[in-house]
Each structure stands twice: as structure tokens, then as C-alpha cells.
Amino acid sequence: MDQGSDEFVYDEATGEWVAAGDLTAAPEASPESVEVRDAVGNILADGDSVTLVKDLKVKGAGQTLKRGTVIRSIRLTGDAQEIDCRHEAIKGLVLRAEFVRKL
């Protein structure tokens, strides 16, 4: 096998140069593979409904979401700590996963 024919790709997740064949064999670097857990350890998925476990002041909206508020149809952002959701009064709401519990 000729060593000069190998192509290398920089993997930003690990910060290392890896062979192009090795990178395609490891699909775990995709954002969908991030495991998002709620306040009690349940794994969250797109479309789940969650409830707030504490009162949260929403920056920029001048409003407080009360404990027990139900948020339906969440979306995962690829970050293990953040979820994207919608509320009737607040558009474009991003919540930390540590403040919600899966229904």
C-alpha cells in the first residue's frame, strides 16, 4: 500500500488530522448524535413535550414563565444543554435542558 495516496481531513471535533476513510467510518460527530437529558435524566428527542421545573425570567421579553408550564413540540439544537421551543407569548425561545422535565 502506498503511503502517499492517503488523504487526510482535519476533524474539528477532535482537533486532529485523520485519514479520510476513518472519518466516514465514524458518523458519531454529527449533531444528531448529541444526547440531551432533562433535569431528572430522561433522554429528550425532537417533538417531545416538557414542563418547567422552576420559574424562569425570560430575557428580552419582560416575562416570567412559571413552574409547571407545559412546552410542546421541542426541537434539539445539537447542543447537549439547549433546546429550541415555542411558547404562545414568546417566539424563538431557547431553554436549558436542566430546567425542564419530560412529560
pLDDT in tens, the chain (103 residues): 445 556 888 777 777 888 877 655 544 445 457 899 999 999 999 999 999 999 999 888 888 999 999 999 999 998 889 999 988 888 889 999 999 999 9
State the pLDDT at residue 29: 46
Q: What does the buried/exposed string (b/e) look like for 7-27 if buried means 16 or more CB atoms within 10 Å of the residue's CB? A: eeeeeeeeeeeeeeeebeeee
State the pLDDT at residue 1: 44
CATH ID of 34-102, from 3.40.50.140, 3.40.50.300, 1.20.1440.230, 2.30.30.40: 2.30.30.40
pTM of this structure: 0.64
